[in-house]
Amino acid sequence: MNTAISLLQKWYARHCDEDWEHSYGIKIDTLDNPGWILAIDLADTEFSEVSLPRNRIDRSEVDWIQSEISQQRYIACGGVFNLEEMVVEFLIFAGERGVENLCASAYDAES
């Protein structure tokens, strides 16, 4: 069964071409509010010229997600329990096969 992380790993693996991964990659870190930040480099990928304006969903002070593309980087931030939803949103943006079968509870609750 696919998970958000396994699909993200597949996306990453497909872009590792013995060059891309030396300059670009994926970073997941924490925020001090608390929350998460997900940054995925899109340079030298099929998404390098794609734009995505900032989008924000606020459900509560601790349940929120924001995403955008800035300087060839997909950047998403979210609340402490929104990391999986952030990854799923990226996978949807990237058109990753299998994402439609994910059972990300936070994402399903909003759909």
Give kind and range of the element (H or E) at residue 23: helix 20-23
pLDDT value at residue 102: 77
Q: pTM here?
A: 0.87
Cβ atoms of 76 and 64 within 8 Å: the answer is no
Q: Which residues of the chain have pLDDT under 70?
A: 103-111
